[in-house]
Amino acid sequence: MYEELKKIQQSPQNKDDKKLYHRAMRVLEKYEQTTFWDIDLEPLSGQEKQKRYALNFRLNRKAVIAQDRIGHYYLLQTDLDTEQITDRQVAESYKSLMMVEKSFRDIKSQIKVRPIRHWKNRRIRAHIYLCYLSLWLSKYIENKWKERNISTQVGSTLEEWDHKLLMCEKVDPYGNMVEVSWNRGKNAT
């Protein structure tokens, strides 16, 4: 993350302060670090023709210390009475919500559900259906791996496999598939 911020800081194209700020914030959001870093922009002096901005970022040590003091405890509030729901049920409901939110993040990042460049309803539905199917499949694999004490991340493993295997189809002049084969390597043909 630090290297990505340095790369943005050293970019010669820092002409738009809003774009520069948003580029830096996207990096922090990607690593869920927005609370712990302060970002400042200042115009560079001696740039009369075209304004350029310097990106300054620093670790907010007070925020880091405050986060450490909390000790990763959750303060959960509900409008239900203690007769209706137990503390454990509240915590489990919250944790399941976190799992749903993580799944949506996975859909947007790993599975790349956006942008949808389809205009017909059936194609949009098919696109979303395939994205959810791939999410289900990755969660299924993740659960099976957990049962076998495999701690490897499913997304990174699938990306690695994607770079190693390419499918080749041979089609005759009439459009019929003649042969399917898998090849290894990025430049496999």
- The string of DSSP letters for 139-161 reads HHHHHHHHHTT----HHHHHHHH
* Sequence-separated (6 or more) residues with CB below 8 Å from residue 44: 51, 52, 53, 54
Q: How many CB atoms lie within 10 A of CB 24?
A: 21
pLDDT of 182 reads 67
**pTM exceeding 0.75:** no
Q: Where are the domains of the chain?
A: 2-70, 74-151, 156-189
pLDDT of 35 reads 84
Mean pLDDT, the chain cut into blocks of 10 residues (189 residues total): 83 79 87 85 73 85 84 77 84 79 69 66 82 82 89 77 70 80 59
pLDDT of 109 reads 65
Amino acid letter for position 31:
Y
Dihedral of the CA atoms 69, 73, 78, 80 (nearest 10)? -130
Locate 185 and state its tokens.
Answer: 């390597």
Q: Which of 24, 23, 52, 19 has its CA nearest to residue 38? A: 24
pLDDT of 42 reads 84
pLDDT of 147 reads 92
Q: What radius of gyration do the chain's Cα atoms show?
A: 24
**How far apart are alpha carbons 49 and 33 in whole angstroms?**
35
